[in-house]
């Protein structure tokens, strides 16, 4: 029987980015040898909306597989959705290291990666050559560090245009705290321009990913503009810059994991209250078990995403969450996850 506890002890002795590099290799091997893993799926978990058909509502959030190098392995682990990126038009190194920190007791992470990625062209070429996957693949777009804010729209346009044929959906990430002033783009004027531009290029679903650190009224106003201009959904939330949540936190970067759970849930609740029924809603932030995933779905999420919990609980987490949700559905007498979406809304 696979014991992640033992493996984690070894991985956590390594600097976090070295551990990530090892995990990348392991997932690439798994992608080539999928028979090592027995996938758990249930028809109860299938969900579809717009033109997307997800085998289950558990996704892997952006940032884990920025360059789409592990997709086949992540698909084998059973994620219903994998969001690659954030990817920028040109490749870049990101911020100086160290820039990724574990807070193991709190099952949380702090990162200041700064969109380290190889650029949109290599990502597109990988996606063009990948075998069909069960997971739905989203492409999360960012802007290059050296692009001035007044030219940011051009970066998002380039990323979108270059990847039009290969994504199932697209996400505009204006909410990373690790590219200087990026969050300043979370304003009505830029968001309006961004989605007006994007709908001219594709009919595929477009999402806005938001930060949890804005006043709620501002956040909702920005989401409203995005939806008015053609966004089909909102992803809430990115990491937080509320460093008071994590004792020992550094005063830079973004915090994720268990300490983000309550805040991300509260922000998601506001987004759901305002937009459930009018937009596809995706909940992310501090989700670490089937109970919380199910809770957010009942609040109105069409699907959820995880990141930090994958680091802390390992490759079986997706399977575990899915099994737990099936039990919770049966407990509540619901026939499918579709029936659970938004039952607690309002």
Ligand X SMILES: Cc1cc2nc3c(=O)[nH]c(=O)nc-3n(C[C@H](O)[C@H](O)[C@H](O)COP(=O)(O)O)c2cc1C
Residue with token string 């029987």: 1
Among 141, 208, 306, 337, binds ligand X (CB under 6 A): 306
Burial, 8: exposed, middle or buried (Cβ in 10 Å; 0-12, 13-18, 19+)? Answer: middle
Please tell me whether residue 45 binds ligand X under the rule CB under 6 A.
no
Contact between 116 and ligand X by CB under 6 A: the answer reads no
Nearer CB in complex with ligand X: 44/300: 300
- The verdict on 340 binding ligand X (CB under 6 A) reads no
User: Pick from 220, 246, 260, 337: which binds ligand X (CB under 6 A)?
Assistant: 260
**Does the protein bind ligand X through residue 284 (CB under 6 A)?**
yes
Residue 36: CB minimum distance to ligand X, A: 25
Instruction: Find the radius of gyration of the CA atoms of the chain.
Output: 19
For residue 108, the minimal CB distance to ligand X (Å) is 8
Structure tokens, 296: 């957010």
Helix axes 261-275, 290-299, angle to 10 degrees: 20
Tell me the residue number closest to ligand X, measured at CB.
63
For residues 238 and 260, give the distance between their C-alpha atoms in angstroms, rounded to a whole number.
10
Q: Is 336 a catalytic residue?
A: no
Least separation in angstroms between CB 274 and ligand X: 20
Task: For ligand X, give the closer residue by CB, 57 or 63.
Answer: 63
Indicate if the alpha-carbon torsion angle 63, 67, 73, 79 is positive or negative. positive
Distance between CA atoms of 338 and 47, rounded to whole angstroms? Answer: 6
Nearest-angstrom CA–CA distance, 222 and 161: 23
How far apart are CB 78 and ligand X at their closest, in Å? 17
What's the DSSP call for residue 242?
A: -
Q: How many residues bind ligand X (CB under 6 A)?
A: 28
Fill in the per-residue mask, 142 to 171: x = in contact with ligand X (CB under 6 A), - = not in contact.
------------------------------
Of positions 82, 109, 246, 279, contacts ligand X by CB under 6 A: 109
**Rounded to an integer, what distance in angstroms lies between the CA atom of residue 289 and that of residue 286?**
9
Tell me which residues in 197-216 interact with ligand X (CB under 6 A). Answer: 209
Task: Find the shortest distance in angstroms from Cβ 1 to ligand X.
Answer: 26
Tell me the closest approach of the beta carbon of residue 57 to ligand X, in angstroms: 14
Q: Which of 253, 313, 306 is nearest to 79 (CA)?
A: 306
Residue 89 makes contact with ligand X by CB under 6 A: no
Within 13 A of 26's CA, how many CA atoms are on the CB side? 13
Distance CA(264)–CA(267), nearest Å, equals: 5
88 is a contact residue toward ligand X (CB under 6 A): no
- Rule CB under 6 A: say whether 271 interacts with ligand X: no
- 103 touches 75 (CB < 8 A): no
- Contact between 194 and ligand X by CB under 6 A: the answer reads no
Name which position in 57, 205, 257, 315 contacts ligand X (CB under 6 A).
Answer: 257
| Marked catalytic residue, from 163, 176, 256, 308 | 176
- Cα separations in angstroms, 168 against 133, 245, 275: 11, 35, 22
Bridge-based pairing of strands 108-111 and 254-257 is antiparallel
Q: Which of positions 228-247 make contact with ligand X (CB under 6 A)? A: 238-239
* Residue 113 binding ligand X, by CB under 6 A: yes
- In DSSP terms, 140 is beta-bridged to 85, 171
Residues that bind ligand X (CB under 6 A): 61-63, 66, 85-86, 100, 109, 111, 113, 115, 140, 173, 176, 209, 238-239, 256-257, 260, 284-287, 306-309
Which residue numbers are catalytic?
A: 176
């Amino acid at each position: 029987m696979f014991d992640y506890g033992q493996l984690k002890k070894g991985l956590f002795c390594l600097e976090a980015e070295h551990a990530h590099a090892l995990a990348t290799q392991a997932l690439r091997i798994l992608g080539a040898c999928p028979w090592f893993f027995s996938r758990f799926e249930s028809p109860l978990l299938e969900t579809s909306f717009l033109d997307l058909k997800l085998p289950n509502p558990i996704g892997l959030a952006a940032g884990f597989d920025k360059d789409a190098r592990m997709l086949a392995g992540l698909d084998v682990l059973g994620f219903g959705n994998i969001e690659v990126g954030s990817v920028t038009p040109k490749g870049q190194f990101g911020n100086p290291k160290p820039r990724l920190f574990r807070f193991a007791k709190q099952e949380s992470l702090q990162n200041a990666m700064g969109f380290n990625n190889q650029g949109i062209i290599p990502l597109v070429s990988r996606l063009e050559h990948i075998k069909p996957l069960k997971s739905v693949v989203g492409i999360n777009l960012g802007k290059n560090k050296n692009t001035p804010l007044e030219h940011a729209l051009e970066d998002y346009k380039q990323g979108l245009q270059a990847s039009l044929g290969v994504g199932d959906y697209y996400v505009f990430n204006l909410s990373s705290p690790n590219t200087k002033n990026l969050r300043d783009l979370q304003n009505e004027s830029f968001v309006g321009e961004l989605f007006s531009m994007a709908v001219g290029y594709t009919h595929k679903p477009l999402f806005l990913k938001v930060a949890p650190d804005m006043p709620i009224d501002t956040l909702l106003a920005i989401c409203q503009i995005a939806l008015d201009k053609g966004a089909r959904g909102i992803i809430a939330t990115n990491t937080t810059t509320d460093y008071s949540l994590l004792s020992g936190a550094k005063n830079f970067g973004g915090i994720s994991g268990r300490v983000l759970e309550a805040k991300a849930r509260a922000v998601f609740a506001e987004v759901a209250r305002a937009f459930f029924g009018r937009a596809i809603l995706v909940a992310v932030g501090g989700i670490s078990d089937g109970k919380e995933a199910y809770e957010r779905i009942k609040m109105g999420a069409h699907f959820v995403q995880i990141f930090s919990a994958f680091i802390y609980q390992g490759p079986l987490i997706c399977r575990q969450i899915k099994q737990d949700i099936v039990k919770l559905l049966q407990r509540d007498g619901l026939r499918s996850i579709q029936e659970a979406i938004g039952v607690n809304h309002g």
